[in-house]
């Protein structure tokens, strides 16, 4: 468990899966939590679970990460409500899968708007209070396919690969103000999306992973919590692969 008492964290895509696991791990450390998601019912449930887990405070912030004005307003609101913003986790994301020749223009744009531009919008907004307080940790959730590619995921792979490049650039820009920026690149994680796959497909996926299992949301949450904490105070611009050895 890490100590986040007196710290405020904004987590996007926090309603379920990896995002919820991250929110609950930060809650166990006593953080103030601002949770964002498009699924209002699930996000409000996550707020209640976070409070039960030990969050000092937890609130739901419904806004579209692809809308820069909404991101600016949300960050301002979080700072006003909690007195600062110390951790930003850009977890919100979608995947619209299709082979290149069949990928629709609108699906390409939507994927990049949420996965890449959404993270950019929030990093730009959060950088202001973080630089002013000369402290902060930003963690972007990338993906193994952002490094190795994957057939049928042109838009998703491109968005996550670009997010890794953006992470490294912003890490260089903000380092002089003691704001750290890192990325976590998950492999295949046991979430409702992968649970819906046929058992034969899940078995084949596990066989392709040296550790012979899918990861868990908690595997990702543990890594994010470490990066967000002072124990990673000398880590910035890193891409940490949590993929069971699938890509080395």
Q: Which residues are catalytic?
A: 156
185 strand-pairing partners: 241
Q: If you search the block for the tokens 């902060």, which residue do you land on? A: 136
Q: How far is CA 69 from CA 64, 66, 75, 161, in A?
A: 9, 9, 10, 25
3-state helix, strand, coil in the chain (%, to 5): 50, 15, 35
The Cα diameter of the chain in Å comes to 52
Q: If you search the block for the tokens 């468990």, which residue do you land on? A: 1
99: number of Cβ within 10 Å: 10
Strands ordered across the beta sheet of 136-141 = 57-60, 32-35, 8-11, 87-90, 136-141, 179-186, 239-242
3-class DSSP state for residue 182?
strand
3-class DSSP state for residue 78?
helix
Element spanning 204, H or E? helix 199-207
Its sign, for the CA torsion 182, 185, 189, 193, is: positive
């Amino acid at each position: 468990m890490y100590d986040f008492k007196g710290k405020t964290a904004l987590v996007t895509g926090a309603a379920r899966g990896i995002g919820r696991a991250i929110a609950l791990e930060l809650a166990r450390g006593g953080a103030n939590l601002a949770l964002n998601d498009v699924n209002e019912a699930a996000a409000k449930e996550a707020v209640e679970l976070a409070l039960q887990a030990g969050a000092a405070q937890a609130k739901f912030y419904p806004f579209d990460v692809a809308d820069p004005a909404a991101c600016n307003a949300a960050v301002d609101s979080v700072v006003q409500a909690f007195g600062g913003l110390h951790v930003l986790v850009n977890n919100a994301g979608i995947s619209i899968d299709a082979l290149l020749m069949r990928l629709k223009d609108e699906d390409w744009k939507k994927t990049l708007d949420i996965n890449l531009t959404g993270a950019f919008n929030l990093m730009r907004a959060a950088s202001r209070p973080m630089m002013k307080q000369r402290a902060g940790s930003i963690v972007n959730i990338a993906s193994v396919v952002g490094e190795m590619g994957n057939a049928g995921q042109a838009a998703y792979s491109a968005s996550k690969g670009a997010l890794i490049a953006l992470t490294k650039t912003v890490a260089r820009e903000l380092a002089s103000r003691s704001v750290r920026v890192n990325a976590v690149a998950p492999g295949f994680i046991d979430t409702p999306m992968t649970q819906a796959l046929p058992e034969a497909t899940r078995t084949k996926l596990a066989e392709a992973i040296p550790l012979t299992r899918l990861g868990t949301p908690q595997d990702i949450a543990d890594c994010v919590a470490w990066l967000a904490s002072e124990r990673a105070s000398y880590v910035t611009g890193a891409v940490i692969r949590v993929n069971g050895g699938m890509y080395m």
